[in-house]
Structures are given as C-alpha cells and as structure tokens.
Structure 1
Amino acid sequence: MDQSNVELLYEPIDKLTESLQQSTNQTYLDSLITTMEAVFNASLPEELDESIKQNLPAIPDASAYEIEDIRKAVQMATLKGMKGATQEQHLMTPEAIALFVGYLASKVTEGREHIRLFDPASGTGNLLTTVTEQLEKLEAVFASEVDPTLIRLAALNANLQQKEIEFFHQDSLGPFLLDPVDLVVSDLPVGYYPDDIQADDFELKADEGHSYSHHLFIEQSIKYTKAGGYLIFVIPEFLFDSDQSDKLHAYLQEQVHIVGVLQLPETVFKSEKNHKSIMILQKKGPDTTAVKQPLLAQVPSFKNTRAMSDILSQINSWFSENMTK
C-alpha cells in the first residue's frame, strides 16, 4: 500500500528525533524541537556536538510537502512525544475536533472583512493552525502559552506552516498587551488555578480556596474579545454542573449571548470523565441580539459520514436562519 505524504514526512522526522533523543538524553519532545529547528533551517543547530551530528540521519526536506501534510506529520510526532508523558488536560485537541471548531469559526465570521484571532491556551498550536486553514480575511493571529516546551513546539509548527502568529509566553490569566480580537478559539485547560492573588482580579474567582482555571479562562477570553465578537470553546461536559457553576452562569448571562452548545461524540475521548462539548458565545454589544433558538446538537461519530453530512446540513440551515451578518 502506498504511503501518504504525511507518513512519508513523519518517518524521517521521527527517525531524526529518536536519534537525537538517544544521543542527547533529552525527552522525545525536546528532541522534536531540535528536529523542527533543523527542518526549518535546513541544518542542525551549531551548538550540537560534532560527534553527535556525524551519526544522525538526514534532515527531512519539508519544502516538497503541502502545509497540511507538514501540520499532520508534526502532529503525529508530537502525539508520540506526549503519549504517557503528559497530563490529560494538556493533551492535544483531537484532529477531528480541531477541524470541526474551524468549520464553526468559518460560519460565525462569514462576511467579516478583517479577523483578529486569539487562542489563550494554545499548547502546541495545533487547534489554532487548524482553524486558520479554514478562515479567510485573517488580519492577525495571536496565541498564549505558559509551558516553555509547548510554546517552542507551537512557534516552530507555525514557522514550518508559514503562518504568521504572535506568541505570548506568559501566564495566560495575567494582563496582555493585546487589543480586543474578533474571535477566540480555545480548548480550555481544566482544573484549579494555583495563583490566588492573580485570581483575585477575576469576577469568577472562587469564594474560598482555588478558583477553576477553566472559568477564569472564559472570563479572560471575553475580556479580550470585541463587542459583537465570537468565542468558541472546547469545554468539559461538567462545566455547568460544578459547585461554582451558578456564578459562571450568571456571569455569562450578563456578558454574552449563548449561540450554541454541541455535544461531541463519546468515541473521541478515552474515558467518560473526559467527555467534552463545544460552546459558541457572542460578546454582547450595542448592535447584538440573542438568537431566538440556540444551536443545540449531538454530534455523531466523525467516522459516520452519512450522519455527519446530515448534522452539517442541519447546522448550515440553522446559521442561515438565525445568524444575521
């Protein structure tokens, strides 16, 4: 069977990364950073010991591949590096979900001439770069990530895909030097936020104890969105069932219109506690009105092409009937 272009590029990336890992005693992900730098610059880093360089396989040539092939090959290598070494909430957004978020992003921004896009929890950048592939009229793209390894992977990922993205390497719940954007997309980090002093600046801080980081990320994202702008979050299914959900619900009622909630197929997630949905919001403004009937849907298995075709047809009809440009 013929190999796909993704596999043809992934194999030499993986081979070089494994060789670097063995030679330098680094993790696979750190070695992947060196590989991606080598692919981008078409040469190994100067600081690498000459004795190591002599025994390494050839640097893959990415210039012969399409942007989408590069993204997927890097994604495969990143997933391999994350396997067993990454906490559940730090895992990469599954490909099918990232594509679906991109589709929804294209629907809510349809007709807009200039789009400023932001992901405040960008991780390796896979969700963000997948979404950018489906958006026209992109004026600027921004991303924030606190983890030094993930943000280096994300920046190199963007470089290899020839995408211009401005990265903030900081705590994403701190202040940004960023003008409000038209669209936020994010796979929300789930858990407790350890910095109670920083959390004190948020309306959605906990009354006592640590605040939920996923609540604070929602508030932070709304803060940096223009009036009338949209936010698309991948959310934990239990978002509105927690002990602090009343406060979250009241805050959302005040700040945004809930455009829709789509329950993702269980088959995408390893366990029941990790099930997620997609929530679409619009920040309230002088020219905005609530939709008469929010988009509520159960997304079928992404592998069921007939059912997916049906649900996409229904979603397209809903947007035609309910979204005024």
Structure 2
Amino acid sequence: MTSLTLAGIRKRFGKVDVIRGVDLRVADGEFVVFVGPSGCGKSTLLRMIAGLEDISEGELRIGDRIVNEVQPAKRGVAMVFQSYALYPHLTVRDNMGFGLKVRGVPPHERRQRVEAAAATLKLDALLQRFPRELSGGQRQRVAIGRAIVGEPDVFLFDEPLSNLDAELRVHMRSEIASLHKRLGNTMIYVTHDQIEAMTLADKIVVLRDGQVEQVGTPRQLYERPGNLFVAQFIGSPKMNILPIEAVAGKLPGQPKTASLVGVRPEDLELTEPGSGFVDARILISEYTGASSLLHVQLPSGQVFLVAHDGEAPPADTSVGLAVEPGRLHFFADSGRRAD
C-alpha cells in the first residue's frame, strides 16, 4: 500500500488549462472517487497519475517518490479502463498473464499470480475460455485481474462499469468494494455516476472545470455540501433551491448572510395547505414502486421535486411543504454555504 500527494497540479493543452491547480492527499489504502460532470478533468487527472499524460506544473508523489518524470510502468500503478481491451485470440489465463510475460516474469510465478487473482475474482473455472465466450461482467473481471497480477501499489479505475447494463453495474460495484476490502490497496476511481461515488468511496473528490470543489466522505458531501454546485450534484434527485425572499419569515434558523435555501426532495413532507413553509400544487406524480416522485409548483411558478412514500395525492391537489429545520441548507450570493 502507498499514499499519493498532488501539489499544485496543472495540465495545459496549448493555451487551455484543463487541470487548474489541484491539491490532494490520498492516504494508504484509501478508496477515493473522482466525480464530476463531463469535461471536468477527472479522467485527465487520473491519466496524469498513471503517467499517460504529462504534468504541466506541480508535483506528484506516489509514496515518497516524486514521479513527474517516471515512466508509467515504473510508478507502481495499474489502470483499468472503460473498455476491457482484452486480446481476442488469448485465453483468460493468457490475457491476465500477458503483462507479466512481457516483463519477463518466470512461467511458474506467472501461473501462481494468475491463479491467485482468478481465485480472488471467481474466475477459476474460466481460465481456458476466450473473451468472446464471456459476459460483459466476466470480461471486466478479467481486466481487473490483469491489473491485480502486476501487484501494483495503486489501482486506477477509469469509468470501468459504464459499458455494463444497470443490473450488472450494481453487481460489479459490490465486487469492486469487496476486492478493495480483501486487497487493501489504495484505489482511485473515476465516474460520472454519483451513486457509484456514494456507495464505493471512503472519500469523494468533486471536480468542476479542472478544479476541486469539495473533498469529503459521502456523508459529509451529502449532509453539508460546501457550495451550490456540490449541493445539486451530490444526491439524486438533486436538491431544490429557492430564493430566501420567496419564503421570508417562514424558515427557522435562517442565517443573515443567506440569499438561497436548499432542501432535498427526500426531506420534504406533504402537509395541509398553509401549515408548511410554503404551499404548492401537484403537477405530476411519478410512481417508482417504493415511493413516488412528485413535481410540485410553488406560488412563484418554480417547480420543486418531492420524494413521497406511500400513496401520492392526485395531480392538481394543493398541499403544504414542511421540512425539519436541521435539514435545510443555506447559501450566500457567492454560492458558498452560509450556515
């Protein structure tokens, strides 16, 4: 296991800064997830750690070594890509051991490492198959196994589940979490899917426009987002945001510096009209099985989302919206958290 330290990391393509001064510490054995919208720089940052992109400015340490100029193969990292990148003419065993063969690892040691990784990933019975004979999830496990046999200090995952269907993504998510628990290696995982980030990470790094917006545990980012961007990016459905003046005098604990208030759909409760902090009219009710997602319109014309358990009132019903004071989030004009 080893740690990583990024200090003032920048990446320029021509005159365009795509990574703009990232400072980050990843502890030994930590599972860190980079998350953010498309184009935020998360994959570029991962490739810089791997050595597949040059660092324009700043310092990258893996363990105690500065690795800015170190070749990818000598950094002690292994990367799992979105595409499986398996050789179609090689068996699972040979795909997993190919990198070791190139490095000149003796055949008996290659066999031991491949079989140990196959046991970890439950691929024992598939070692003689070819990629065309495997499911998508099995191919991804082979790609992960190919990384494991290299015995890296750090695993890097670049959206490894995005090519899988929804059910298989859930299954592979749990397998990757179990793998981290068994191996204990430092892992950095890139995804645009904030559910993956919330369920896998010890620590989440939220990126936007090549900069870090906030770093914290999933719970910290969900319960105390540092700004409006994080508040609306973390959580599904996203947080409702309302100008303070729309509910002036009806919100307990309102900070004087706040101009906006946020409330998550799952924290809103339906009450009788006039008994909440604001009244609304139900526009649409989306039944999802365990609950319903209600689209409700406020007197200002703004539409809120409400996650409602139980039977939902029909469309065009007037309701009140209530929330516990501790579940409110206040933000200043700048977008920064105000409470």
**TM-score computed with the length of structure 1 as normaliser:** 0.31
Structure holding more helix per residue: 1
Higher strand share: 2
The TM-score with structure 2 as length reference comes to: 0.30
Structure with greater contact order relative to length (CA < 8 Å, sep ≥ 6): 2
